[in-house]
Amino acid sequence: MDTKRLITCLMEDIRKKTASELNLMEVCGTHTRAFFQSGIREMLPPSIRLLSGPGCPVCVTDEACIDAAIALLKEKDIHLATFGDMLRVRGTHESLSDQFGKRGNVSIAYSPLDCLALSKKLSGRQLVFLAVGFETTAPSIALAVKLAKENGIGNLSFLMALKRMPPVLHHILAAKRNRLHGIICPGHVAAVMGARYFSFIAQEYAIPAVICGFEAMDMACGIYMLTRQCNGQERSSLRNLYKTCVGDEGNATANKLLQEVFEVDEASWRGIGRIKDSAYVLSSRYKDFDALNRFCIRLSNPLPKSGCSCGDVIIGNILPYECRMFEVVCRPQNPLGPCMVSSEGSCAIYFNNGRVPMK
């Protein structure tokens, strides 16, 4: 049977057997986008509501971090490198692209390891890498830090904004406000950390969870497995359907690096607030490479902006369409909140790939 027919059969089965409304959260922005682009969203019965989760690194990076990067650019004459998506996210007042446009002292890096070569080219001028992401980008950032130390690169440091996934999921699941019935776990995080990293979802909260890939068939199977558990056809558990990439224990080399270079601390999540143990920060051995330490910059405590509901969107309380700013004021060219910035941000995905449902 070809993929198209198989998916049609799965969808038919889901439609027949799902009587009640189900709220399923796809944690990762790449899944949100793939659901739209594959057309699966349109094929699901209306009783299944897909909610975006906090899995877009741009969306969860708080204003204080952007403000600190801008302060470094303005006050310390450094060169800043970061991932492309980050350039357009606003801090309290402006974004890095505003600075980029003015002075050309911001570079887009696709890999943090590029900074090792870039730091040499800058011949002594200080380079700061704005390190955002989750367990996915963390290993390559850890490697860049380690290599910087080993090679005695004195003009490279890291503005740390790395986040960990389990604490924010605990935060969402414990709140129960969004009445989640199932979780599609972030596949790339699972590839690094292992399937067991997410076993707490079913064990502690009795909510079904799947790990699946990003092809249409992977995602259709993921939803099918979740609905079977939700409908009582199977007991709630964590199902790993992405075994080609995800083992039980994850990538041993990457995990060793994470343990060596980072330690866990509290983090501030944009629109959500502070969550214990949800940050990767540099361990004492590597503190010299922390840009905040090196340049004596302190993170501010920006007041949350009124009007934007990004915080509610990324924990599944509302759909992007339900934010009163969506499309009316907040658009990709004029993003109020970070969810409208990145191509993996839930609001931008809904804006670019969907239409506001008729009321």
Closer residue to other proteins in complex, CB, 130/261: 130
* CB atoms near residue 106 (< 10 Å): 23
Element (H, E) at 100: helix 96-103
| b/e burial code for range 238-277 (CB count within 10 A of at least 16 → b) | bbbbbeeebbeebbeebbebbeebbeeeebbbbbbeebee
Residue 246 Cβ vs other proteins, minimum distance, rounded to whole Å:
15
Residue located via tokens 């409208």:
340
Are 262 and 273 in contact, with CB atoms under 8 Å apart? Answer: no
- 207, amino acid identity: I
What whole-number distance in Å separates Cα of residue 57 and Cα of residue 64?
15
> How many CA within 13 A on the CB side of residue 333?
1
Closer residue to other proteins in complex, CB, 8/105: 8
Q: Which residues is 267 bridged to in the sheet?
A: 275
DSSP code string of 164-180: -HHHHHHHHHHH-TT--
Element (H, E) at 24: strand 22-28
Residue 203 Cβ vs other proteins, minimum distance, rounded to whole Å:
26
Q: Which of 289, 254, 287, 267 is nearest to 140 (CA)?
A: 254
Are 154 and 123 in contact, with CB atoms under 8 Å apart? Answer: no
What whole-number distance in Å separates Cα of residue 220 and Cα of residue 149?
45
Residue 115 Cβ vs other proteins, minimum distance, rounded to whole Å:
12
Closer residue to other proteins in complex, CB, 235/355: 355
Closer residue to other proteins in complex, CB, 236/344: 344
**What SS3 state is found at 191?**
helix
Residue numbers of the site for other proteins (CB under 8 A)? Answer: 3-4, 7-8, 30, 36-43, 57-58, 83-88, 101, 108, 110, 114, 132-134, 136-137, 188, 216-217, 220, 331-333, 342-344, 348, 351-355
Residue 303 Cβ vs other proteins, minimum distance, rounded to whole Å:
25
Residue 296 Cβ vs other proteins, minimum distance, rounded to whole Å:
28
Closer residue to other proteins in complex, CB, 127/132: 132
Closer residue to other proteins in complex, CB, 42/150: 42
Residue 307 Cβ vs other proteins, minimum distance, rounded to whole Å:
19
What whole-number distance in Å separates Cα of residue 315 and Cα of residue 308?
14
Closer residue to other proteins in complex, CB, 292/341: 341
Closer residue to other proteins in complex, CB, 253/352: 352
Residue 332 Cβ vs other proteins, minimum distance, rounded to whole Å:
3
Residue 300 Cβ vs other proteins, minimum distance, rounded to whole Å:
23
Closer residue to other proteins in complex, CB, 208/320: 320
Kindly state the tokens that stand for 353. 């790939």
Residue 86 Cβ vs other proteins, minimum distance, rounded to whole Å:
8
Kindly state the tokens that stand for 195. 């399937």
Residue 312 Cβ vs other proteins, minimum distance, rounded to whole Å:
22
Closer residue to other proteins in complex, CB, 207/310: 310
Dihedral sign for Cα 46, 48, 52, 55, please.
Answer: negative
Are 319 and 53 in contact, with CB atoms under 8 Å apart? Answer: no
DSSP code string of 55-107: E-HHHHB-HHHHHHHHHHHHHS--EEEE-GGGGG-B-SS-BHHHHHHHH--EE
